Structure 1
Amino acid sequence: MSKICVIGGSRYFGKLLVERLRDAGHQVTVVNRGSTAPPAGVTRLVADRDDEAALTAALGTRTFDVVVDQVCYTPVQAAIAARAFTGRTRRYVMTSTIEVYDPATAALPPVPPSTPVPEESVDPAGWRVAMDLPWHDDAYLDAHYAEGKRQAEAVFARTAGFAFASVRSAHVLGGGAQEFTGRLAHYTGRVSRGEDIAVHAPALPTVFIHHEELADLLSWAATADFTGPVNACSDGPLDVRGLTGIVAAQAGRKAVHRIVPAGEKASPFSFDRHYAMSNARAKKLGFAFSRTTDWLPGAVAAALALPAAPTD
């Protein structure tokens, strides 16, 4: 049994992670702002992670074997957490994102479209950190989400107080009403209504992961001993036409595509640039992934079963 602290963990795959860790026999503590009660058998500490004094006070004299940070978006947040947990934990795992590889958001080494992007394409140990950017501005953060994650990883990677690992998640799907991004519902709604879907020509493949599989991987990462980034994606890249084909088959309708010029905004998951990740490192470390096409039809069926959303 390990003492594990989860920062966030109140919804979607974070909630599943907390339940999995508890059910595995670990002593789990969650730190959040108190809006959602944790599952039975889980300790909750109420604090705003952006308030270093409040976070430190809430932690008191507690120590942990592992911290899993679900809601770190900026280097400022990372620096606060690094100071608060140095001396309190031996291992720190941060949930990161596929967006760190997006070539539209940073000058990154080019990767041929047929080559899955490896972790070393973005090395947090050497990434520049700029604390003086307006990270507290919501609009700025939303526009610089990928850079915020890259710099947060960089802060933790340079922290000597604990071993650090990051889990770079693919696009997360599944969960029906819990899927708060609404991106799968965008497709199920438009296909069901016979509305066209804006796509690039050609649209490049991307990678996905089921919300339950991501919770499993984070639980595994919490108790493993690797360090550095690891990519988390199910086997089998899929482009937007493959995705809409699965949606159309489940809905009993035909998908209608509308081509948009390169550089113009298209539907979610229609990409005119390549950054589909490789999951080879996670496999080598011992995690077994499912195939996207094995779970995606069920996720689509769950989304189709939801009440119809307003047209957009």
Structure 2
Amino acid sequence: MTTGSTEQDRGEEHYGRGAVREVCVIGGNRYFGKRLIARLTAAGDRVTVINRGSSAPPAGTIHLVADRNDENSLEKALGSRTFDVVVDQVCYTPRQAEIARRVFAGRTRRYVMTSTVEVYEYEDSAELVREDAVNPRTVPVDLELPWDDPEFLDTHYGEGKRQAEAVLAADPAFPYVTVRVAHVLGGDDDFTGRLDHYAERIRAGEAIAVPATNHPATYIHVEEIADFLAWVVGEEFTGPVNAASHGVLTTGELCEALTEHLPGGRTAFQAVFRAVEVGELSPFSFTRSYGMDNTRAERLGFAFGKAREWLPRAVAETLGKVN
């Protein structure tokens, strides 16, 4: 990954550096975050990783220990450092966005926030949703909500991301991008356990709880979202952008792909879908469509793969069945 001479000249003029791009990643120690860092370092970028110190960052990076929820801690850790791009992998609340906006004002030429498809949780449409379906400038922000309560944050994940985007949009201190990431699949380090949920029930022939009308969703492979974020780091566009592979997948298609890698093949698929009106649903089963339109990203120059083509690989990786 390289930058053009114009961008390099601007970087030298503003930061007094040469052609090496300075990238800061907040979080990023696991799953697609660590893959992103690997891509950046392989491209010759100098990568600074900020986390609370509970785990070491990938090799070849500069490590800063700070609590991103503590403004003074973050300021102290950063010192006088400045960056070409900041990639925020762990901004979940408007409070965190407020702190980041203040701390990185004047420190970065561009800011990339990893957001989510969940910002569209109120957009009940059978059509693939475009970025303009949720305009962060119109989203009200409530900093007094109990954002520090893990249970509240878990049940208000989409709202937290939506309000975090709104903070950046209301008073942007730097050019920024919010990457609205589809549901991520694949890798032998998928910590979510969502595909395992289905695999366990298929093996046992147990019922799988889904809504009466179970909608499909768009997905993206763990390697593809790492590619996408690395690409975004090198671009100049701003604002929200959807990141999703082509095509939607249903719960049934996920389960059918799983059976190919379980003992007994398709004969193992004894589980039945049980429609429920109330109660906890199985992961990746939705009462509304979570399909995103990826046209903006493709027009900007990124080419996505097709979900149905990489799904068998993703399932094999997650179940540890890769040859």
Bigger mean CA offset, 43-52 vs 130-139: 130-139
Could you list the per-position Cα deviations for residues 70-112 of structure 1 after superposition, in whole angstroms to 9, with x for gaps in the alignment?
0000000000011000000010000011111112xxxx4x52x
| Matching residue of 2:11 | none
- Structure 2: segments with no counterpart, 5+ residues: 1-19
Is 1:299 paired with 2:318?
A: no
Once residues 304 and 75 of structure 1 are traced to their aligned partners in structure 2, the CA distance between those partners, rounded to angstroms, is 36
Are the equivalent residues in 1 in contact too, given 2:113–2:177 (CA < 8 A)? Answer: yes
Out of 52, 57, 74, the residue aligned to residue 93 of structure 2 is 74
User: Is 1:34 equivalent to 2:34 in the alignment?
Assistant: no
1:277 maps onto 2:292 in alignment = yes
Cα gap change, 1:198/1:54 in structure 2, threshold over 3 Å: closer, same or farther?
A: same
Corresponding residue for residue 62 of structure 2: 43
Partner of 1:211: 222
- Amino acid aligned to 2:165: E
The whole-number CA distance in structure 2 between the counterparts of 1:301 and 1:207 is 19
Sequence identity, in percent? 54
What are the equivalent positions in structure 2 for 1:163-202 lying under 5 Å apart?
163-176=175-188, 178-202=189-213
Equivalents in 1 of 2:162, 2:105: separation in Å?
20
Would the alpha carbon gap of residues 262 and 120 (structure 1) be closer, same or farther in structure 2, given more than 3 Å must change? farther
Aligned-residue offset at 1:37: 1.5
1:257-288 deviation digits (Å, cap 9, x = unpaired) = 23223454321111121231111111111111
Post-superposition CA distance 1:148-189 (Å, at most 9, x none)? 00000111122332101100111111112x111110111122
Q: Note if 1:133 corresponds to 2:145.
A: yes
Counterpart of 2:280? Answer: 265
For the 8 Å contact 1:93–1:222, the answer to whether it is kept is yes
Alignment-mate amino acid for residue 209 of structure 1: I
TM-score normalised by structure 2 residue count: 0.89
SS at 1:225 equivalent:
coil
SS of residue matched to 1:89:
coil
1:3 and 2:22 matched: yes
User: Which of 111, 119, 138 is matched with 1:100 structurally?
Assistant: 119
Match of 2:252 in 1: 241
Q: State the one-letter code of the partner of 1:218.
A: L
Root mean square deviation, CA, Å: 1.4
How far apart are the structure 1 equivalents of 2:232 and 2:303? 13
1:250 Cα offset (Å): 2.8
The 1:272–1:262 alpha-carbon spacing in structure 2 relative to 1, beyond 3 Å, is farther
- 1:17 aligns to what? 36
The one-letter code matched in structure 2 to 1:167 is V
- 8 Å CA contact 1:262, 1:272 repeated in 2: no
CA distance in 2, matches of 1:26, 1:18: 9
* Matched position secondary structure for 2:286: coil
- State the one-letter code of the partner of 2:294: N
The separation in 2 between residues aligned to 1:23 and 1:140, in whole angstroms, is 38
Greater mean deviation of Cα atoms: 247-256 or 65-74: 247-256
2:110 aligned to which of 86, 91, 101? 91
Counting matched residue pairs gives: 298
Task: Measure how far apart 1:213 and its partner are.
Answer: 0.7
Q: What residue identity is the alignment partner of 1:210? A: H
Which position in structure 1 is the counterpart of 2:131?
119
> Within 2, Cα distance between the matches of 1:255 and 1:249?
13
Which of 164, 176, 182 is the matching residue for 1:152?
Answer: 164
Closer, same or farther: CA 238–255 of 1 in aligned 2, 3 Å: farther
Q: Tell me which residue corresponds to 1:309.
A: none
**Separation of aligned partners in 2, 1:188 and 1:293:** 18
Structure 1: segments with no counterpart, 5+ residues: 307-312
Maintained 8 Å contact 1:205/1:274: yes
- The aligned residue for residue 226 of structure 1 is 237
